[in-house]
Amino acid sequence: MSVDATAGRAPVIYRERPWWQSIWRHRALYLMAVPGIAYFIVFKYVPMGGLIIAFQDYSPFRGIGGSPWVGFDHFIRFFSESTFVMLLVNTVSVSLLLLVFSFPVPIVLALLLNELRSKLFQRSIQTIIYLPHFMSWVIVVSLFYVLLTTDGGSINALLQSWGMDAVPFLTDPNWLRPLYTMQEIWKTAGWGTIIYLAAMTGVDMELYEAAELDGAGRWLQTWHITLPAIRPTIIVMFILAIGDFLELGFEHMFLMLNSLNRDLGEIFDTYVYTAGIQNGQLSYATAVGLFKGLVGLILVIAANKLAKKLGEEGVY
């Protein structure tokens, strides 16, 4: 309750509404949020209860209540095996490639699209670069397989027509990470431009007009006006990308793995599947997944604090 006292008038008393009245007043907005809230509760928070089996020798026949406790035995086993170093190196290597090459591409594309004067041409280009987002990883990897295979692949057929030897893109382990990065860029870059283009719509057009009167060209306007305006958005997206540093996803890498490149392509996500589903080591696989999630949480908190120290808003 607050009091507003003005000169010559009786004080006006404002009574704060109960929380349930505020919810009822904005019931339409809360109703729209119900599906999203239900999704996170059912598929994100409720499954967290299953993490308890990381500290048990879990057996599906005994259940969580009947399985014996083993404490941190699964974590000790994981950290003491040579597999841990291999998984860490492979995952960090691919994640760094994505941060260096994949993360800036949507920003560059958004800046280029923002410079197009023809709205029809701009929307046509946007539609074309958005399309790969709606393809599954099975289709994306299959397309690259058809193009790059040594048995009738278009790229190798073109190289051979120029008198060059066929390149084993799909079987040479050294090509795994570059191909993974290129596929990630091709599929996700166009869709990622949506966020940055939306941020650019909030830039005051008078700033561009003033800069043009001062003789600044398009490059200087982009560098001194557009990029500083979308910098908070870039930082937020970077923090979210840092949170997924060890979360590369299972499907994409699993489709690219074979017996020849597994040593360089096995990451935490595929290892969890191999250990948990194929080998039946459910508790051990849960411990590996829990470790990966905790590292992501720590990275998000650290990146957010660093952003705030640098004067940015951060995620929270």
- pLDDT of 312: 75
Query: Is the whole model's pTM more than 0.95, yes or no?
Result: no
One-character DSSP codes across the chain = -EEE--TTSPPEEEPPPPHHHHHHHTHHHHHHHHHHHHHHIIIIIGGGGGGGGGGBT--TTTHHHHSPB-TTHHHHHHHHSHHHHHHHHHHHHHHHHIIIIITHHHHHHHHHHHT---HHHHHHHHHHHHGGGGS-HHHHHHHHHHHH-TTT-HHHHHHHHTTPPPP-TTT-GGGHHHHHHHHHHHHHHHHHHHHHHHHHTTS-HHHHHHHHHTT--HHHHIIIIIHHHHHHHHHHHHHHHHHTTT---HHHHHHH--TTTHHHH--HHHHHHIIIIIS--HHHHHHHHHHHHHHHHHHHHHHHHHHHHTT-----
Question: Taking Cα atoms as reference points, which of 182, 194, 198, 179 lies closest to residue 106?
Answer: 194
- pLDDT of 165: 87
Task: Locate 65 and state its tokens.
Answer: 């209540």
Give dist(CA 56, CA 48) in Å, integer.
15
- pLDDT of 193: 93
Residue 22 in any domain: the answer is no
CATH number at 106 reads: 1.10.3720.10
Distances (CA, A) of 155 to 139, 286, 290: 18, 41, 41
Residue 20 in any domain: the answer is no
Residue 202 in any domain: the answer is yes
pLDDT along the chain (316 residues), means of 10: 54 66 85 93 90 92 90 94 92 93 94 87 89 93 91 88 89 92 94 91 85 85 89 89 86 91 92 91 93 89 84 73
Contact 288, 269 (CB under 8 A): no
Q: Based on the structure, what is the number of domains in the chain?
A: 1
Angle formed by the axes of helices 104-114 and 119-130, nearest 10°: 160
Residue 172 in any domain: the answer is yes
- pLDDT of 134: 92
Give dist(CA 239, CA 103) in Å, integer.
11
- pLDDT of 8: 56
- pLDDT of 217: 84
- pLDDT of 252: 93
Residue 51 in any domain: the answer is no
- pLDDT of 202: 85
Domain extent for 122? 56-309
